[in-house]
Chains A and B, each alone.
Chain A
Amino acid sequence: MSASGPVPRPRSNLRPWLGVLLPFTAFGLLPWWVCLTLSAALALGRLNEDARSIGVLLVLLAAVLVSAPLLLGRDPDRLNASGTLFAQAAVAGLLSFASSRALEGGQRRGLLLPAAAVLLFPAPGGLAALLLGGLSLRGAETGPPLRFQRTPGQSRRMLQALLGAVVLLTGGAALLSTVLPAATRQAVPAADLPRAAIRPAATPQETPLPTASPSAPRPVVRTAPTPLSGEDQGLLLRPLVPFTGLLIVVCLVLLLKRVRMKRATGRSTWADYAALAAMLGTLFMLGVLGAGAGPGGPLSGSAAQAAGLGGGEVGTRAASVASRQGPDWLAPLLNAGLIFSTLFFGVVAVYLYLALRNGPEKARSGPLASPEAADPALPPLHRVRLAWRRLETVLAASGLARLGSETPEEFAERLSLLLPAAAADLHVLTQLYLPVRYGGELSEAQATRAEAAEASVVQALRAGPA
Chain B
Amino acid sequence: MTQPVSPLSEFSPPAAGFSVSDFASRVLGNVAAVMVGKEAVTRLALAGLLAGGHILLEDAPGTGKTMLARALAVSLGLGFKRVQFTPDLLPSDVTGVSVYQGGRFEFVPGPIFTGLLLADEINRATPKTQSALLEAMGEGQVSESGVTHRLPQPFVVVATQNPVEFEGTYRLPEAQLDRFLLRLSVGYPTEAQEAQMLARLQERHPIDTLEAVATPAELLAARQQVRGVQVHPELRGYIAALTARSRTHPQVALGGGPRASLALQGVAQALATLDGRAFVTPGDLKTAAPGVLGHRLSLHTEARLSGVSPESVVAQVLSEVPVPVEVPAQVAEATRP
A interface residues, Cβ below 8 angstroms from B: 372, 378, 381-382, 385-386, 388-389, 392, 402, 404-411, 434-435, 437-440
Asked if A438 meets B279 with Cβ closer than 8 Å, knowing A378-B335, A389-B331, the reply is yes
Q: A388, B326: Cβ atoms under 8 Å?
A: yes
Query: In whole Å, how far is A457's beta carbon from the nearest beta carbon of chain B?
Result: 15
Q: B326, A389: Cβ atoms under 8 Å?
A: yes
Q: B325, A434: Cβ atoms under 8 Å?
A: no
What is the CA–CA distance of A439 and B282 in the complex, to the nearest angstrom?
12
Interface with A: B121-129, B163-171, B298-306, B316-324, which one? B316-324
Q: Which residue of A lies closest to B320 (CB)?
A: A405
Interface of A is mostly: helix
Query: In whole Å, how far is B52's beta carbon from the nearest beta carbon of chain A?
Result: 22
Query: In whole Å, how far is B150's beta carbon from the nearest beta carbon of chain A?
Result: 36
What is the CA–CA distance of A182 and B135 in the complex, to the nearest angstrom?
95
Query: In whole Å, how far is B104's beta carbon from the nearest beta carbon of chain A?
Result: 56
Q: B282, A440: Cβ atoms under 8 Å?
A: no
Q: B279, A435: Cβ atoms under 8 Å?
A: yes
Could you list some 17 contacts between A and B, CB below 8 A?
A372-B331, A378-B335, A385-B335, A389-B331, A404-B322, A405-B318, A405-B323, A406-B325, A407-B286, A407-B325, A410-B283, A410-B286, A434-B279, A437-B325, A438-B232, A439-B279, A440-B278
Residues on the A chain within 8 Å of B224, using CB: none
Q: Which residue of B lies closest to A377 (CB)?
A: B337
Interface core residue of A389, A435, A438 (most chain B CB under 10 Å)? A438
Q: B230, A406: Cβ atoms under 8 Å?
A: no
Q: Contact mask B266-305 → A, CB, 8 Å, 1/0? A: 0000000000011111110010000000000000000000
Partner of A409, one of B230, B231, B278, B281: B281
Interface core residue of B277, B280, B326, B332 (most chain A CB under 10 Å)? B326
Q: A404, B323: Cβ atoms under 8 Å?
A: yes
Residues on the B chain within 8 Å of A389, using CB: 326, 328, 331
Q: Contact mask B37-59 → A, CB, 8 Å, 1/0? A: 00000000000000000000000
What is the CA–CA distance of A405 and B322 in the complex, to the nearest angstrom?
4
Q: Say yes or no: is B334 at the interface (Cβ < 8 Å to chain A).
A: yes
Query: In whole Å, how far is A201's beta carbon from the nearest beta carbon of chain B?
Result: 55
Residues on the B chain within 8 Å of A385, using CB: 326, 331, 334-335
Partner of A405, one of B232, B319, B328, B335: B319
Q: Which residue of B lies closest to A391 (CB)?
A: B326
Q: Say yes or no: is B36 at the interface (Cβ < 8 Å to chain A).
A: no
Q: Which residue of B lies closest to A408 (CB)?
A: B325
Q: Which residue of B lies closest to A266 (CB)?
A: B322
What is the CA–CA distance of A194 and B299 in the complex, to the nearest angstrom?
63
Asked if A440 meets B279 with Cβ closer than 8 Å, knowing A388-B326, A404-B323, A408-B325, the reply is yes
Residues on the B chain within 8 Å of A402, using CB: 325
Q: Say yes or no: is B212 at the interface (Cβ < 8 Å to chain A).
A: no
Q: A438, B326: Cβ atoms under 8 Å?
A: no
Query: In whole Å, how far is B243's beta carbon from the nearest beta carbon of chain A?
Result: 15
Asked if A438 meets B281 with Cβ closer than 8 Å, knowing A406-B323, A407-B286, the reply is yes
Q: Say yes or no: is B97 at the interface (Cβ < 8 Å to chain A).
A: no
Q: B281, A386: Cβ atoms under 8 Å?
A: no
What is the CA–CA distance of A437 and B325 in the complex, to the nearest angstrom?
7
Residues on the A chain within 8 Å of B286, using CB: 407, 410
Q: Say yes or no: is B83 at the interface (Cβ < 8 Å to chain A).
A: no
